[in-house]
Structure 1
Amino acid sequence: MCKGAKVHVHITGKSTPQDDDDEEMETMDSHIKYWFYSVCDAILLQIISSNDCIAKDLWDKLGEIFLNNKMSRMLQLQEKFLNTKKGSSSFTEYCHQLKNLPEAFKDFDSKINEIELVIQILCPLLPSYHKIVNVITNTKPFP
């Protein structure tokens, strides 16, 4: 959204004022701060804003708040990935559940490779699937 509105460079600090009295930068900063004030929760605004803050300050403080839980969220995803069982769901539903989790890991600069995904899909299967699991795990190259 920020890139579409062409304000991304302003909030990331890649754009700098031409001089101490850069009206265009101040106007852009005011527009962005207004946008923050209109879309952010009032309690969150109290946490991130101050009298002399600029739009980049708001952006940075939001980033700190939402990225501080990155490790705990990644650990939760890892636990969910390792503990997902087929249970009463169909095999297709089970595979979709597990296949969607690695996408979420990309948000944390982490990944689950395809071999880990296949192993995780196969290992928790009921004994009635063990013959096919043997065939798949002994296939060269590994699927």
Structure 2
Amino acid sequence: MDQIDSIILQWIYATVSDEILGRILQDESTAHQAWNRLQDIFLNNKGPRVAALETEFSNIRLQNFPNIEAYHQRIRDVRNQLADVRIYMSDERMVIQFVNGLPIEYNATGSYINQAMPTWERVCNMLDSDHRRKVARDQSSPGIAAAVDTPPTYPNQNTNRRFNSRGS
């Protein structure tokens, strides 16, 4: 049993930063004792850490990321960091923040998401699809986009013509 404890203790020491190692390293320590010291270090700053993470979470915006996947990932990362300090976030809260961080061009999708409140994974898939559609549209030729936005006209078209009951 001492050999297993020694292996785990060495693993703990090998995986922490030098600064933290100096704080948990003690002679004649068991893995359990080292782990408890490590836990105390991380949980002692729980309040300030939670406050900082909550602020960061509330301010995550798509415009600050190179793509929508990085935006998804950052929301997941902050959620996981909060869980590390025992603050658990519901999927609904993640979805709400996800929608709040979207730019105006996603208002229609965001409105639908807020009403339907789908799962986190479904929201990620919906926004990925919407983003791909927007990118494809933006990359299309401006002449094609203008043609789509302009209604067709026909020669001799008289929009004010009225037909009477005899068909004239």
Task: Report the TM-score when normalising by structure 2.
Answer: 0.51
Q: Which amino acid aligns with 2:63?
A: G
Matched with 2:70 is: 93
Q: Which amino acid aligns with 1:132?
A: T
Conservation of the 8 A alpha-carbon contact between 1:85 and 1:124? yes
Q: 2:52 aligns with which of 67, 71, 76?
A: 76
- Structure 1 residues 45 and 135 mapped into 2: Cα distance closer, same or farther (>3 Å)? closer
Matched with 2:4 is: 6
> Relative to total residues, which structure has the larger helix share, 1 or 2?
2
Quote the Cα distance in structure 2 between the aligned partners of 1:112 and 1:43.
Answer: 28
Contiguous gaps of at least 5 residues in structure 1 = 8-30
Deviates more, 1:60-69 or 1:96-105: 60-69
Percent identical among aligned pairs is: 24
Residue 135 of structure 2 corresponds to residue 137 of structure 1: no
Conservation of the 8 A alpha-carbon contact between 1:48 and 1:62? no
Quote the Cα distance in structure 2 between the aligned partners of 1:127 and 1:81.
Answer: 19
Contiguous gaps of at least 5 residues in structure 2 = 119-168
TM-fit CA distance, 1:63: 3.7
The CA RMSD measured in Å over matched residues stands at: 3.3
Quote the Cα distance in structure 2 between the aligned partners of 1:108 and 1:119.
Answer: 22
Give the total of aligned pairs.
111
Q: Which amino acid aligns with 2:52?
A: Q
TM-fit CA distance, 1:117: 0.5
- Structure 1 residues 49 and 117 mapped into 2: Cα distance closer, same or farther (>3 Å)? same
